[in-house]
Amino acid sequence: MEKSKATLKIKRFNPEKDNAPHWESYQIEVEPTDRILDGLNYVKWYQDGTLSFRRSCAHGICGSDAMRIDGRNRLACKILFKDLGEVITVEPIAGLPVIKDLIVDMEPFMEHYRAVLPYLINDDPPPPDERYQSPADRAKFDDTTKCILCACCTTSCPSFWAKEEYIGPAAIVQAHRFIFDSRDHGAAERLDILSDSDGVWRCRTIFNCTDACPRSIEVTRAISEVKREMLFRKM
């Protein structure tokens, strides 16, 4: 396949040396089907070994290479050069503290995730074989099982940018996955947590989260279902 020129314009920041972030450009040659992650690897391996970014699976599964590419949150391993222009901007996802270059501190995000009790709660003694669930009941939360905790949604949400205490769409997606699981008994507790002033009602239905999700989860819809469930249970 024929190679073409591309420029990666990357926002760099090294807290040990820099007072503020700055842009640096790198010229590379790429095949159209190369992914932005391939380009970043090329820069790191052959041009500037100090460039820092997270990546692992390279197949859209681990969620570690979320970044802002041409102004939109995406996974670098899922975006091809042929789908973007010749000059491509790459920045860290917004709203979380930058540790270095494209690496942000995920701890505040994970704190919100842990807050919604993202695990099955059921103290009933387990049946001899398994806890059965009908296909119809399983379908109620199928979409939200696909979340890989990449943070593309939460860090594209203006409500989160405005107030970092907002629990954020990713945590609500994770709560949804258990609230609508017929085998789980922790829905009331989770809904109580999400009814806080920094919980679901801080969502203004802006839809950036849904647009940003690399797993095509209907994030805003999941949030609306949680809001409805909260109101329904209060009636």
Q: Which residues of this protein are in contact with ligand FES, per CB under 6 A?
A: 55-58, 60-65, 75, 77
CB of 60 to ligand FES, least distance (A): 5
Angle, CA 197 vertex, CA 192 and CA 202 arms, to 5°: 105
Size of the site for ligand SF4 (CB under 6 A): 15
CB of 114 to ligand SF4, least distance (A): 14
In the sheet with 4-12, reading across from the earlier edge strand, the strands are 22-30, 4-12, 87-91, 66-69, 72-75
Per-residue x/- marks for ligand SF4, 143-162, CB under 6 A? ----xxxxxxx---------
**Quick one: what does residue 75 bind among ligand SF4, ligand F3S, ligand FES, none, with the CB cut-off 5 to 8 Å set by partner type?**
ligand FES
Choice from 173, 191, 200, 223 touching ligand SF4 (CB under 6 A): 173
Distance between CA atoms of 38 and 47, rounded to whole angstroms?
13
User: Quick check: 220 binds ligand F3S (CB under 6 A)?
Assistant: yes
Residues 165-204 that bind ligand F3S (CB under 6 A): 169, 203-204
Question: Beta-carbon neighbour count of residue 158 at 10 Å?
Answer: 13
Q: Which is nearer to ligand SF4, 43 or 171 (CB)?
A: 171
Burial of 76: CB neighbours in 10 Å, binned 0-12, 13-18, 19+: buried
**Quick one: what does residue 220 bind among ligand F3S, ligand SF4, ligand FES, none, with the CB cut-off 5 to 8 Å set by partner type?**
ligand F3S
Consecutive H or E run containing 222: helix 219-234
Burial of 50: CB neighbours in 10 Å, binned 0-12, 13-18, 19+: exposed
Strands 22-30 and 98-100: unpaired
CB of 103 to ligand F3S, least distance (A): 23
| Distance from chain centroid for Cα 66 | 7
Residues 116-175 that bind ligand F3S (CB under 6 A): 157, 159, 169
Q: In the structure encoding, which two tokens stand for residue 138, read together? A: 């399983």
Q: Which is nearer to ligand F3S, 35 or 174 (CB)?
A: 174
Angle between helix axes 187-194 and 168-179 (nearest 10 degrees) is: 160
Q: Which is nearer to ligand F3S, 77 or 217 (CB)?
A: 217
Distance between CA atoms of 157 and 160, rounded to whole angstroms?
5
Size of the site for ligand F3S (CB under 6 A): 13
Residues 181-220 that bind ligand SF4 (CB under 6 A): 212-213, 215, 217, 219
Contact set with ligand SF4 (CB under 6 A): 147-153, 169-170, 173, 212-213, 215, 217, 219
